[in-house]
Amino acid sequence: MLSKKITKQELLVVTAAREIKNGDVAVLGIGLPILAGAVAKQTHAPDAVLMMESGIIDFEPRVLPANVADATCTRGYGYATDLFSVFTTITYAGYLDKAFLGVAQIDKYGNINTSYLGKPPEAERITAAGGAPEFFAYAKESILTMKGKGFVEKLPYFTSPGYLGGGDERERSGRYTPGSGPRMLITGKGIFKFDPVTREMYLDALFPGINVESVRADVPWDLKMADTLHAFPIPTDEEIDFLRKLSPISAFPVTMGYQLSAAYHNSEREKKATCR
């Protein structure tokens, strides 16, 4: 049951949280994925094993972490290991059910760019690869989130694999966990999935208040649609209450959240400076 007003950011977190099943071993990126993991574990997936690639395995996010090895994530957790072991003994060895990471640019087959908007070293940088290429290659399935309008016909830089050129190309290459690949992309306008045969991305659900034209406007190819477009899930009070307790700033867009927080901290500092 939902009895309160919620924000776009909160709906996105809860939508993502519903994708984590009880018992999943899931690696979470900083930001929305961490929040989604925390909500899932608190509500419908208490036995999910949440992990971060720094070697923090089976943890419970208590506050919004600032980095992948954040001290706030190691106050009580099940298995302390390191990055090398995460990618080998857990990921490549086949024990990672879900990789849950944010992306910047995506093409119609779910291939990802998080590195450069052109040719390095002159091109503008996005961030870089981080752990994404190996997680997207060897997790049994991947769930992607994207903030902006990052749909492109051709990636200027291919950081991480989706379904490569589509069809069974990924499967045939022999370089990937069989059956793996991106399962869905969640954005502020919709949920996108991938055709099981062609592996081409299609629109599966529309974000509340968004129409198909608005989605198409961001996509440079002729975007396919599900036969019936689905709705986003409706959060429960329990999910929203927990999320607000976990990370009050996450009710806002990321930049706004940090601006509000910085404004508060900076005004506190100035108050002290005047008192001196």
Partner 1 sequence: MSTAGSSKVMTTKEAIGRFVHDGDSVITGNYTEGMPMSMIFELIRQRKKNLTYYSQSGSIDAEFLVAGDCVDRMCSAFIHKWAGRGFGSMVERYQRAGKLLVEDYTNFTYNARLAAGAFGYSFMPVLPAIMDSDVFKVRNSGYMGEKKFDVVKCPFTGREIPVVPAANPDVCLLHVQRADRKGNAQHWGGLGSTVHACLASKTIIVSCEELVDYDIIKSSPHHTIVPAFRVSAVIEEPYGCHPCDLPGYSNPDRPMYSLINSAFYCEDGLKSLLDEWVYGLPDRNAYIRHYIDLFGQDTLNRYRARSYYSAPADYGVAFESAWDANGRSIDLGVDMEGLVQLIEEKGELVYVK
**Binding of residue 153 to partner 1 (CB under 8 A):** no
Catalytic annotation present for 53: yes
Q: Are 151 and 189 in contact (CB under 8 A)?
A: no
From 15-23, 72-80, 201-209, 240-248, span contacting partner 1 (CB under 8 A)? 72-80
* Among 42, 160, 247, 250, contact with partner 1 (rule: CB under 8 A): 160
Handedness of CA 157, 192, 148, 6 (dihedral sign): negative
Site track 90-109 with partner 1 (rule: CB under 8 A), x = hit: --x-----------------
Residue type, 163: Y
Q: Measured between alpha carbons, how far is 207 from 251 in angstroms, rounded to an integer?
A: 17
- From the CB of residue 264, how many other CB atoms can be counted at a distance below 10 Å? 11
Residue closer to partner 1 (CB basis): 161 or 166: 161
Burial of 50 from C-beta contacts in 10 A (0-12 / 13-18 / 19+) = buried
Find out whether the peptide bond into 253 is cis, omega within 30 degrees of 0.
no
From 155-163, 188-196, 209-217, 227-235, span contacting partner 1 (CB under 8 A)? 155-163
**Binding of residue 76 to partner 1 (CB under 8 A):** yes
- Give the active site residue among 10, 53, 134, 141: 53
Q: Measured between alpha carbons, how far is 117 from 120 in angstroms, rounded to an integer?
A: 9
**Binding of residue 115 to partner 1 (CB under 8 A):** yes
From 40-48, 171-179, 199-207, 211-219, span contacting partner 1 (CB under 8 A)? 171-179
- From the CB of residue 182, how many other CB atoms can be counted at a distance below 10 Å? 28
**Binding of residue 3 to partner 1 (CB under 8 A):** no
Q: Measured between alpha carbons, how far is 50 from 40 in angstroms, rounded to an integer?
A: 10
The footprint of partner 1 (CB under 8 A) covers 52-56, 63, 66-76, 80-84, 87, 92, 115, 119-134, 137-138, 157-161, 164, 173-176, 255, 258, 261-262, 265-266, 268-269, 272-273, 276
Q: Which residues are catalytic?
A: 53
